[in-house]
Amino acid sequence: MKVTDILRFARERGEPVFSFEFFPPRTEDGVRQLFEAVEALRPLAPGFVSVTYGAGGSTRARTLELVTRLKRESEVETVAHVTCAGASRQELAQVLDELAAAGVQNVLALRGDPPRGQRVFEPHPEGFRYASELVAFIRAEPARWSFCVGAAAYPEGHVETRDLARDLAHLKLKVDAGADFLVTQLFFHNAHYFRFVERARAAGIALPVLPGIMPFTAVEQVERFTALCGAEIPPRLRAAMQVRREDAEGSLQLGVAYAGLQCADLLRRGAPGIHFYTLNRSPSTRAIVAALRASEPWREG
């Protein structure tokens, strides 16, 4: 099923969509754990799960393998990340053909990150520089590829484009090229999300915008991620993190509790769902989604 249909059916029922992002593990034991995590999430009725590429397109083959296996072996809808990084047009066409042949209906079209150790993104000589070009490439052959196409959105601006107006103009290019839905970068201050949605609507972007939430499990972990993506850590949250820096269990509890409060507020105020950055671990997200389904904050809005 296409993500747009999943979102539409959920909206008609007055319910949110919960989705979960995983990255390709490096070992077979990691793959086993990933499938166990997805299986553990099934009772919570996930809308879809997505599988990322590594930086520079480094896990392309493993991503294809995992997405097709999840599509074939589980009852959960899948979204495959497809990035411009390190790929020619011909290679991207081959990836899209393989996904279509496997019955995958959804892709998240991204520029991608530079390879590890490289600070500046360099496009493949025969590839694309921008995600908007990849979206247009997919849309150019509708008879060949009929994917539902998602795109990334950055409530605080892309780490390389902190000018919010310029970043929104880049997003508009992706939307105009044919994107169907948006998933945001992680954030820890809900005001960023709601201000971003207001700006997007004012710019004529009417697509569903799924907020991305990461229930962190360790202080060093969240500091590393925010340094890479440029997300702000609110002062009160940072102070609470500092107190628990050497307390592994306390850090985990803080991450789950804070993400749960974020999600409840987002859903109460009209977000269409939550996209969880799981870091390939399901206990934290399972606890949050179970609590949200029990309390149904979206019915309080």
Could you give all domains of the chain from N- to C-terminal order, each with its CATH number? 3-294 (3.20.20.220)
| DSSP state at residue 298 | G
Question: Given this model, what pLDDT does residue 127 score?
Answer: 81
* Amino acid identity at 28: E
CA distances from residue 221 to 224, 226, 241, 248, 290 in whole angstroms, order as listed: 5, 9, 11, 11, 24
Q: CA-CA distance, 78 to 49, in Å (whole number)?
A: 5
Asked if residue 58 has pLDDT above 70, the reply is no
Long-range own/partner contacts, residues 233-239 (CB < 8 A, 24 or more apart) = 233/188, 234/188, 234/189, 237/188
For the annotated catalytic residues, the residue numbers are: 21
pLDDT of res. 114: 65
Residue type, 152: A
Look-up: residue for tokens 């809808």? Answer: 77
Q: pLDDT: is 138 or 280 the higher one?
A: 138
Q: Is 236 helix (H, G, I), strand (E, B) or coil?
A: helix
Q: Which residue(s) pair with 110 in the sheet? A: 83
41 contacts 286 by C-beta, under 8 angstroms: yes
Give the tokens for residue 84: 């411009």
Confidence label for 117 from pLDDT (cuts 50, 70 and 90): low
Q: What is the mean pLDDT of the chain?
A: 91
H runs (alpha helix) in 83-140: 89-101, 131-139
HEC letters along 20-39: EEECCCCCHHHHHHHHHHHH
What pLDDT was estimated at residue 199? 97
Which of 2-6, 102-106, 118-122 shows the lowest mean pLDDT across its residues? 118-122
On the question of pLDDT at 197 being above 60, the answer is yes
Instruction: Calculate mean pLDDT across residues 162-168.
Output: 90
Average pLDDT rounded to a whole number, residues 88-92:
93
**Is there a contact between 108 and 80 (Cβ–Cβ < 8 Å)?**
yes
> What percent of the chain clears pLDDT 90, i.e. is strictly above it?
65
Residue 59 in this model has a pLDDT that exceeds 70: no
pLDDT beyond 80 at 13: yes
Q: Residue 60 pLDDT > 80, yes or no?
A: no
Strands 273-277 and 48-51: unpaired
Alpha carbon distance 160, 107 (integer Å): 23
Q: In which residue are the tokens 């809005």 written?
A: 301
Look at 5-14, 158-167, 262-271 and tell me which has the smallest mean pLDDT: 158-167
The pLDDT tens digits for 251-292 are 999 999 999 999 999 999 999 999 999 888 778 999 999 999
pLDDT at 155: 95
Dihedral sign for Cα atoms in the order 253, 274, 77, 229: negative
In this prediction the pTM is 0.94
H runs (alpha helix) in the chain: 3-13, 28-41, 60-73, 89-101, 131-139, 164-177, 190-202, 219-229, 235-243, 248-268, 283-295
Using 50, 70 and 90 to split pLDDT, how confident is the model at 56?
Answer: very low
Q: How far is CA 250 from the centre of its chain?
A: 26
